[in-house]
């Protein structure tokens, strides 16, 4: 075993109007590994984090900057992806290209899976785009919730269709009902 490759993860929880969210990150070097969408239950959030990671206590000043940005997002403000902090190691080049193209969808707008497939130069890859959105480790930061079906319905989302609808409503300045 190469002891130099053991990664230590930390996490921070973020209260939102939709429930508790969390970010798992490493401190040395500072990288974001996963953003967990809001859950209605803290127990569910804890279970999901522990299923994927074993985070240690720790803190890095960059996480405070990102938490502040995410809190502003949940108050109705756009967020700029912190590209240099995103951990891309577990993704293929095509997944990364697709996620970067997804980040170009303007705040408050939507794009279909097929349109996104065309934008990455793979016009017949709408299902691949859907799969890529499902594996997005950085939802909200990379706004996969802005990708919808060609018939205008919202489609699937890791946080469920209700949360996807609420995020789209938040970005459209619509009234959000809980």
Helices (H), the chain: 42-52, 61-73, 93-102, 113-119, 126-134, 161-171
A 10 A CB-CB count for 97 gives 16
Are 96 and 87 in contact by the 8 Å Cβ rule? The answer is no
CA distances from 54 to 68, 79, 129 (A): 24, 28, 30
Distance CA 55, CA 46 (A): 11
* 144 tagged catalytic: yes
Tell me which of 27, 111, 144, 156 is the catalytic residue: 144
Distance CA 63, CA 23 (A): 9
Distance CA 142, CA 163 (A): 15
> Three-state DSSP class for 167?
helix
Distance CA 48, CA 130 (A): 22
Catalytic sites, residue numbers:
144
């Amino acid at each position: 075993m190469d002891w130099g490759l053991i990664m230590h993860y930390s996490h921070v929880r973020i209260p939102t109007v939709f429930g508790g969210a969390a970010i798992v990150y490493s401190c040395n070097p500072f990288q974001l590994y996963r953003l967990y969408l809001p859950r209605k239950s803290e127990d569910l959030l804890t279970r999901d984090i522990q299923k994927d990671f074993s985070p240690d206590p720790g803190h890095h000043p960059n996480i405070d900057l990102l938490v502040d940005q995410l809190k502003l997002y949940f108050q109705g403000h756009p967020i700029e992806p912190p590209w240099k902090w995103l951990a891309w190691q577990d993704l293929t080049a095509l997944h990364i290209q697709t996620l970067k193209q997804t980040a170009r969808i303007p705040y408050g707008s939507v794009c279909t899976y097929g349109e996104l497939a065309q934008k990455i130069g793979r016009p017949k890859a709408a299902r691949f785009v859907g799969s890529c959105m499902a594996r997005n480790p950085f939802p909200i930061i990379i706004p996969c919730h802005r990708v919808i079906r060609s018939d205008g319905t919202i489609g699937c989302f890791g946080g469920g269709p209700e949360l996807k609808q609420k995020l789209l409503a938040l970005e459209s300045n619509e009234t959000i009902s809980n």
